[in-house]
């Protein structure tokens, strides 16, 4: 039973389109994260938030943006998708730094 939900699970779009990947959690966690992962590879942090109205860029340069208007919602937006954005995007949340991440199932994005 997932407590963090990502939609859509799969998305194929054309170059230049604007897209928003949704992430919602029901656990009331303040800390949320977006990671990018190529198949079978390590995770790279692209954005994080430690509460409402706070967002920071992660270690991996990304052309995406995020917002955190509500605790439970942390959407990621690509203004103009490119084939280089093809990847899996994973959203996670955490109660505090002593606990592990709870991950969503991910969005597999393909830009053609």
Partner 1 sequence: TQLLEQSPQFLSIQEGENLTVYCNSSSVFSSLQWYRQEPGEGPVLLVTVVTGGEVKKLKRLTFQFGDARKDSSLHITAAQPGDTGLYLCAVPAGGTSYGKLTFGQGTILTVHP
| Residue 72 structure tokens | 């439970």
| Residue 61 structure tokens | 């340069």
Residue 1 touching partner 1 (CB under 8 A) = no
Least distance (Å) between residue 52 CB and partner 1: 14
Contact positions with partner 1 (CB under 8 A) in 14-33: 31, 33
Phi, psi of 65 (to 5 degrees): -130, 160
Question: Which of 108, 102, 99 has its CA nearest to residue 26?
Answer: 102
Rounded to whole angstroms, how far apart are CA atoms 93 and 46? 14
Contact residue for partner 1 among 7, 11, 22, 58 (CB under 8 A): 58
Choices 11-19, 43-51, 60-68, 75-83 (CB under 8 A): range interacting with partner 1: 43-51
- For residues 29 and 103, the answer to whether their CB atoms sit within 8 Å is no
Q: Which residues bind partner 1 (CB under 8 A)?
A: 31, 33, 35, 40-43, 45, 48, 50, 56, 58-59, 90, 92, 94, 96-106, 108
């Amino acid at each position: 039973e997932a407590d963090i939900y990502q939609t859509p699970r799969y998305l194929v779009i054309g170059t230049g389109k604007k897209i928003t990947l949704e992430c919602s959690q029901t656990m009331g966690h303040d800390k949320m994260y977006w990671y990018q992962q190529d198949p079978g590879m390590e995770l790279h942090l692209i954005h994080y938030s430690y509460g409402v109205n706070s967002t920071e860029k992660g270690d991996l340069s990304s052309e995406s943006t995020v917002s955190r208007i509500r605790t439970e919602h942390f959407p990621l937006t690509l203004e103009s998708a490119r084939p280089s954005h093809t990847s899996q995007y994973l959203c996670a949340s955490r109660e505090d730094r002593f606990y592990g991440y709870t991950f969503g199932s991910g969005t597999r994005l393909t830009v053609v």
